[in-house]
Amino acid sequence: MEEIKKESLNFIEEIIENDLKRKKHTTILTRFPPEPNGYLHIGHAKSICLNFGLGLKYGGQTNLRFDDTNPAKEDIEYVNSIKEDVKWLGFEWARELYASNYFDAIYTLTLKLIKKGKAYIDESSAEQIAALKGTPTSVGKDSPFRNRPISENLALFEKMKNGDCAEGSMVLRAKIDMSSPNMILRDPVLYRIKFAHHHQTGDKWCIYPMYDYAHPISDALEEITHSICTLEFEVHRPLYDWTIAELELFPSRQIEFARLNLNYTVMSKRKLMELVKNNLVSGWDDPRMPTISGLRRRGYTPASLREFAHRIGIAKRDNVIDVSLLEFCIREDLNKNAPRMMAVLNPLKINIINWLKDRTEYVSIENNPEQSEAGHREVPFSNELWIEQDDFMENPPKKYFRLTPGGIVRLKGAYIIRCKNVIKDFEGKVVELDCEYISESRSGRDTSGLHPKGVLHWVSAKHAVEAQCRMYDRLFKVESPDAGDGAYKTHLNQDSLKTLPKIYGEPALKTAQKGDTFQFLRNGYFCVDTDSTDNQLIFNRTVTLKDAWAKLAAKG
């Protein structure tokens, strides 16, 4: 009998399996609760994969619920982008919901809370409330309005709802414990007045519940079994439980896990928003952004992001994931799935001097060595070719096995050539190379007996497709741009985007469509950018290939 080692569970899965086993629940229901006040980033992707993944794994479901309790900061634009991103990641929600769907229910429940004497209207100013709140190390003091009669609370709450009170003039507070060591429990604000237009409810309401109050109620009304959020909400859990208990609702349980941190980038919505607003990037979907839309435009696939989320795991300790893991995940996917193409990014012209000027020969090159069923394509070879400037050196260092004066090299899928003559301009810069091809060296029928160490990619000049290339690198030049004071913007990598206005690709690239991904042989993975037009093909570099030579050369 083969012993099957069962995959270890993360702590949330353990809780769920335990709940299922003990029959606390017969099925599970999770939710992904974004606030529509910005675009989703890869940290949200972690949460999405967790919540939807759990639903899938345990045969339950997951709701998408917009946490839209603050109309001042939220917008329908974000609602739409969030839906698009979740779908693109490959998940389907059971129900599309909004916390605002429950505004009536929450209002009714609140009446019950007030009648129980568990909430009161406080007419103190925000400053007064803050002053009486105390500090983490000193207790708070009761508000002078704390013990007003229930009937008065009811009447004032009614007035508040009817729009008879000015913004900031009063709030509804829970009556819990002003001396609690947990600041969250010092009579938290439940409702505030905001005369703001809401993207879902329009102008129906001028009072809006706070997150801490609306969230447990929303969870409970949906009968969410496991309400998963990030660690900073841990201290809010007693309030979450208090709300459910006082209102006698479905016992949803909040569980917290550590949010994702990635090095060489920033992850807070506020900072990402600043980058966008200050035009430090081209938008939320700039390919350098850690947003889901940015990664999508960069050429990351949903599968690679899901794999990444799986590999980083779920735990409660703070973590900083190395971007190299993200890069590993996309390379792994694209290596297996992206068709290979040849494209010369920094061209150097070579003349095959013993090749007839008008002759074109087609050579057959595999589309993907990782997939035999991907087949081959025909690539034209002629007397004028482009190769990469880096692939020729007049005075090569040791272990350089590309083209050198008098040296030989294999042109991928075609012939071996020998460099016969180096042509320079008046400044001494190499501008062209005269080479001879070895006629009996054609790939697949090579009888030359030669074994060059180097194999170069190339493009026939007269058949080349021209395109623009955007070479992306990490947005920040330091590992922790967030460290220290708010000076993260000073760590921006000025070279995070280099545009190559004219690159030469093999003819098959002509029909490439937006979003298509390729491996440009020896250069990296690229995808067709959404800015492309019929007249101008634009590629984004998703990620480079691992480059052993670059490493060696850098060492000297």
Provide, rounded to whole angstroms, the least separation between the CB of residue 486 and RNA.
Answer: 13
Q: In what side-by-side order are the strands of the sheet with 517-520? A: 340-341, 517-520, 524-528, 538-543, 465-472, 497-505, 343-344
Provide, rounded to whole angstroms, the least separation between the CB of residue 521 and RNA.
Answer: 4
Helix (H, G, I), strand (E, B) or coil at 143: coil
Annotated active-site residue 96? The verdict is: no
Establish how many alpha carbons lie within 13 A of residue 141's alpha carbon, considering only the half-sphere containing its beta carbon.
7
Residue type at position 16: I
Cα-flanking dihedrals φ and ψ of residue 487, to 5°?
-90, 25
User: Beta strands of 262-415 (E only): which ranges?
Assistant: 340-341, 343-344, 347-352, 361-366, 376-381, 384-388, 408-411
Provide, rounded to whole angstroms, the least separation between the CB of residue 464 and RNA.
Answer: 19
Helix (H, G, I), strand (E, B) or coil at 401: coil
Cβ distance to RNA smaller for residue 255 or 531: 255
Provide, rounded to whole angstroms, the least separation between the CB of residue 524 and RNA.
Answer: 9
Annotated active-site residue 555? The verdict is: no
Helix (H, G, I), strand (E, B) or coil at 349: strand
Provide, rounded to whole angstroms, the least separation between the CB of residue 53 and RNA.
Answer: 14
What is the tally of helices (H) and strands (E) in the chain? 13, 25
Angle (CA) 105 111 116, round 5°: 130
Provide, rounded to whole angstroms, the least separation between the CB of residue 49 and RNA.
Answer: 14
| DSSP structure class, residue 390 | G
Which stretches of 235-289 are DSSP H helices?
Answer: 237-247, 269-277
Provide, rounded to whole angstroms, the least separation between the CB of residue 406 and RNA.
Answer: 16
User: Beta strands of 353-464 (E only): which ranges?
Assistant: 361-366, 376-381, 384-388, 408-411, 416-424, 430-437, 455-456, 459-460
Among candidate residues 146, 159, 259, 514, the one labeled active-site is 259
Provide, rounded to whole angstroms, the least separation between the CB of residue 530 and RNA.
Answer: 26
Are 191 and 171 in contact, with CB atoms under 8 Å apart? yes
Q: What is the rounded distance in angstroms from the CA atom of residue 371 to the CA atom of residue 339? A: 9
Q: Which residues contact 370 (CB under 8 A, 6 or more apart)?
A: 335, 336
Establish how many alpha carbons lie within 13 A of residue 359's alpha carbon, considering only the half-sphere containing its beta carbon.
9
Is the C-alpha dihedral spanning 127, 206, 64, 13 positive or negative?
A: positive
The alpha carbons of the chain give a radius of gyration, in whole angstroms, of 31
Cβ distance to RNA smaller for residue 84 or 370: 370
Annotated active-site residue 35? The verdict is: yes
Establish how many alpha carbons lie within 13 A of residue 155's alpha carbon, considering only the half-sphere containing its beta carbon.
5
Burial of 202 (0-12, 13-18, 19+ CB in 10 A): exposed
Residue type at position 431: V
Element containing residue 335 per DSSP (H, E): helix 323-337
Provide, rounded to whole angstroms, the least separation between the CB of residue 459 and RNA.
Answer: 14
Residue numbers annotated as active site: 35, 259, 269
